[in-house]
Amino acid sequence: MSDDQRIVVTGIGIVSPIGIGREDAWDSAAAGRSGAGPIEGFDATDQRVKVACEVSDFDPGDFMGRKNARRMDRFSQFAVAAARLAVDDAGLEVNGGDGIGAVVGTGTGGGIIRDAQHDVYLERGAQRVSPFTIPQSVPNMGSAMVSIELGLRGPVLTTSTACAAGTDAIGTALAMLRRGSADVILAGGAEAMITPFWVAGFDAMRVLSRRNDDPERAARPFDSGRDGFLIGEGAAILVLERLSAARARGAEAVCELVGYGASADAHHFADPDPSGVPQARAVSAAMSDAGLKAEDIGYVNAHGGASEPGDPAEILALRQALGDSARRTAISSTKAIHGHCLGAAGAVEGALTALAVHHGFVPPTANLDDLDPDCAGLDHVTGEGRAMQLGAAMSTSFGLGGHNAALVFGALNGDA
């Protein structure tokens, strides 16, 4: 493949419960340091779930004008902040932005403003609803505000495939760059859904952990005692560009984005296909797109949502796709510390996977004390992280409704 077809990650911006900025988030992930705690964004007294993974110490004024910030939902603020961090990290000059695009995934868009204005409608009447309600809440506003704030005039898109949205956004950007639709694309996801309504809704589905007395140990992917995930929020954006262009401007690449695959369960609106077959197709497609074999994948940052049906189905899928190499493949789920960031999950986890390749280090799965026998078959990294040279690593996302997606990142081996 020519350098014009090879796509590299040159910048990473993260706004997450485990840190704001690439280095802070990576340091927490590598150490297995949790961002969980009691919910502070609203009074959770009447909720059965009182814990979450919130982004602390976030001031939108650090990344955009305060007037503009007031006209954005929190998810759009996260997207803009992560985009600015990514562009700065990449040393990228926008310079008019004609050839620079953005693809930002989200599960629901502006859930906070939508909830708040619905309350205004019920309590004060239709005439008191804010004129900013729709512009702030529609799902495309994450990518739109990134475009507006940074001056990007290339193709700007939104993906909305539930928990796979961030992964699909990055995969979509990869395909666009390969076919020449843009010179540079800012790709990732953003979400902010920690509100009374959304927490109650997820709790009603029985997918959230209710370990309110011990937030940092509540999320337990692959553990026999798991009882659901902690809802998270945040954003991650990757700057993606051709290797030839990165070299031309003297940019230092983090790693290479080498493959993307997707599939659908066509099974159930909430539960994954227990056979693992559809999920395995996405994993195999990503490896095929990367031109790699199962034995080339050294690490998988798993979806690992800590659900009763989901974790075993994912392990089964990985075992099918990786075959005999599965038992030698390191696996962990960083959701144990940053929560399930929903539409941003694949972007946050993709960013951490890219950094794992870059640093040659695999973050651990926190709180995995008693491995569920149904989740065995891969090399679970627990307790402490593990230094290991990674030629290639994968990030997987399996979304509500049966959306499956996987990304493969590769080491550059001194190429850039």
CATH (domain of 12): 3.40.47.10
Pairwise CA distance, residues 93 & 99, whole Å: 12
Examine residue 364 and state whether it is found in any structural domain, yes or no.
yes
Rounded to whole angstroms, the Cα distance separating 268 from 283 reads 20
Domain count, the chain: 2
In a domain, 403, yes or no: yes
How much is the pLDDT for 415? Answer: 53
Catalytic residue among 53, 255, 338, 340: 340
Decide which of 229, 248, 267 is a domain's last residue.
248
What pLDDT is attached to residue 416?
A: 53
Q: 405, 164 in Cβ contact below 8 A?
A: yes
pLDDT in 10s for each residue of the chain, 416 residues: 777 889 999 999 999 999 999 999 999 999 999 999 999 999 999 999 999 999 999 999 999 999 999 999 999 999 999 999 999 999 999 988 899 999 999 999 999 999 999 999 999 999 999 999 999 999 999 999 999 999 999 999 999 999 999 999 999 999 999 999 999 999 999 999 999 999 999 999 999 999 999 999 999 999 999 999 999 999 999 999 999 999 999 999 999 999 999 999 999 988 889 999 999 999 999 999 999 999 999 999 999 999 999 999 999 999 999 999 999 999 999 999 999 999 999 999 999 999 999 999 999 999 999 999 999 999 999 999 999 999 999 999 999 999 999 999 999 975 55
Q: Is 267 a catalytic residue?
A: no
Mark whether 275 and 235 lie in a shared domain.
no
Instruction: Assess whether 127 and 194 both reside in one domain.
Output: yes
Considering 53, 255, 303, 341, which one is annotated as catalytic? 303
Q: Of the residues 209, 231, 248, which one is the last residue of a structural domain?
A: 248
> If we measure between CA atoms, which residue out of 146, 132, 233, 140 comes closest to residue 190?
233
Is residue 94 located within the same domain as residue 141?
Answer: yes
Q: Which of 163, 255, 341, 375 is catalytic?
A: 163
Tell me, yes or no, whether 89 and 226 share the same domain.
yes
Predicted pLDDT of residue 2: 78
Is 173 found in the same domain as 151? Answer: yes
Q: Which domain holds residue 90?
A: 8-248
Sequence-distant (6+) residues with CB within 8 A of 279 are 263, 265, 272, 273, 313, 314, 317, 396, 398, 404
Model pLDDT, residue 69:
95
**Nearest 5°: phi and psi at 30?**
-65, -35
Catalytic residue check, 163: yes
Q: How far apart are CA 20 and CA 27, in angstroms?
A: 11
Q: Do 112 and 230 have their domain in common? A: yes
